[in-house]
Structure 1
Amino acid sequence: MALRFLVVEGNTRGARQAHKEAYGLTLSESYAEVIHGIDDDSVCDIAFPTDEGANLPDAAGLESYDGIVLTGSHLNIYDRTPDILRQIDLMRAVYASRTPSFGSCWGLQVAAVAADGDVRPNPLGREVGIARKLTATEAGRTHPLLEGRPAAYDAPAIHLDVVTALPGDCTVLASNAISPVQAAEIRQNGGVFWGVQYHPEFSLSELAAILSRRTDILVREGFCRTAEEAVAYTQDLSALDKDPSRFDLAWRHGIDAEILDPHRRIREIRNFIEHRVKTQKSVRGRA
Structure 2
Amino acid sequence: MALRFLVIEGNTRNARQAHKAAYGLMPSESYAAVLGEIEADILCDLAFPADEGANLPDASGLESYDGIVLTGSHLNIYDATPDILRQIDLMRAIYASRTPSFGSCWGLQVAAVAAGGDVRKNPLGREIGFARRLTPTETGRAHPLLSGRPASYDAPAIHLDLVTTTPADATVLSTNALSAVQAAEITMSGGTFWGVQYHPEFSLGELAVILARRTEMLVGEGFCRTPEEAASYIADLNTLHAEPTRFDLAWRHGLDEEVLLPERRTREIRNFLEHRVKPGKSAKGRA
Is the pair's TM-score, using the shorter chain for normalization, greater than 0.5?
yes
Which residue in 1 is equivalent to 2:120? 120
Which residue in 2 is equivalent to 1:227? 227
Following superposition, the deviation at residue 181 of structure 1 comes to 0.2
Following superposition, the deviation at residue 286 of structure 1 comes to 6.3
Q: Distance in 2 between the 1:232 and 1:54 partners?
A: 40
Tell me the amino acid that sits aligned with residue 192 of structure 2.
V
Report Cα offsets for 1:266-285 as digits up to 9, x if no partner: 00000000000011112233
Following superposition, the deviation at residue 246 of structure 1 comes to 1.4
Which residue in 1 is equivalent to 2:285? 285
The runs of 5 or more residues in structure 1 that have no matched partner are none
Following superposition, the deviation at residue 67 of structure 1 comes to 0.2
- Equivalent residue pairs, number: 287
Q: Distance in 2 between the 1:243 and 1:136 partners?
A: 29
SS of aligned partner of 2:138: coil
Report Cα offsets for 1:179-207 as digits up to 9, x if no partner: 00000000000000000000000000100
Q: Distance in 2 between the 1:77 and 1:236 partners?
A: 32
Tell me the amino acid that sits aligned with residue 118 of structure 2.
D
Correspondence 1:209-228 to 2 at 5 A: 209-228=209-228
Which residue in 2 is equivalent to 1:251? 251
Matched, 1:25 2:34: no
SS of aligned partner of 2:285: coil
Q: Distance in 1 between the 2:230 and 2:80 partners?
A: 32
Q: Distance in 2 between the 1:156 and 1:10 partners?
A: 18
Correspondence 1:59-138 to 2 at 5 A: 59-138=59-138
Q: Distance in 2 between the 1:120 and 1:210 partners?
A: 22
Q: Distance in 1 between the 2:192 and 2:152 partners?
A: 25
Report Cα offsets for 1:240-269 as digits up to 9, x if no partner: 101112112111111111010000000000
Tell me the amino acid that sits aligned with residue 94 of structure 1.
I
Matched, 1:201 2:201: yes
Following superposition, the deviation at residue 231 of structure 1 comes to 1.4
Matched, 1:184 2:190: no
Sort the Cα spacing of 1:38 and 1:286 in 2 relative to 1 into closer, same or farther, 3 A.
farther
Tell me the amino acid that sits aligned with residue 233 of structure 1.
Y
Sort the Cα spacing of 1:42 and 1:53 in 2 relative to 1 into closer, same or farther, 3 A.
same
Structure 1 vs Structure 2: percent identity of aligned residues?
Answer: 76
Q: Distance in 2 between the 1:251 and 1:234 partners?
A: 15
Which residue in 2 is equivalent to 1:239? 239
Q: Distance in 1 between the 2:79 and 2:217 partners?
A: 20
Which runs of structure 1 show a deviation greater than 4 angstroms over 4 or more consecutive aligned residues? none
Which residue in 1 is equivalent to 2:273? 273
SS of aligned partner of 1:56: coil
Q: Distance in 1 between the 2:53 and 2:206 partners?
A: 29
Q: Distance in 2 between the 1:124 and 1:54 partners?
A: 36
SS of aligned partner of 1:193: strand
The runs of 5 or more residues in structure 2 that have no matched partner are none
Following superposition, the deviation at residue 56 of structure 1 comes to 0.2
Which residue in 2 is equivalent to 1:37? 37
SS of aligned partner of 1:284: helix
Tell me the amino acid that sits aligned with residue 97 of structure 1.
S
Q: Distance in 2 between the 1:282 and 1:10 partners?
A: 29
The Cα RMSD (Å) is 0.9
Q: Distance in 1 between the 2:78 and 2:284 partners?
A: 35
Following superposition, the deviation at residue 234 of structure 1 comes to 1.0
Report Cα offsets for 1:84-126 as digits up to 9, x if no partner: 0010000000000000000000000000000010000001100
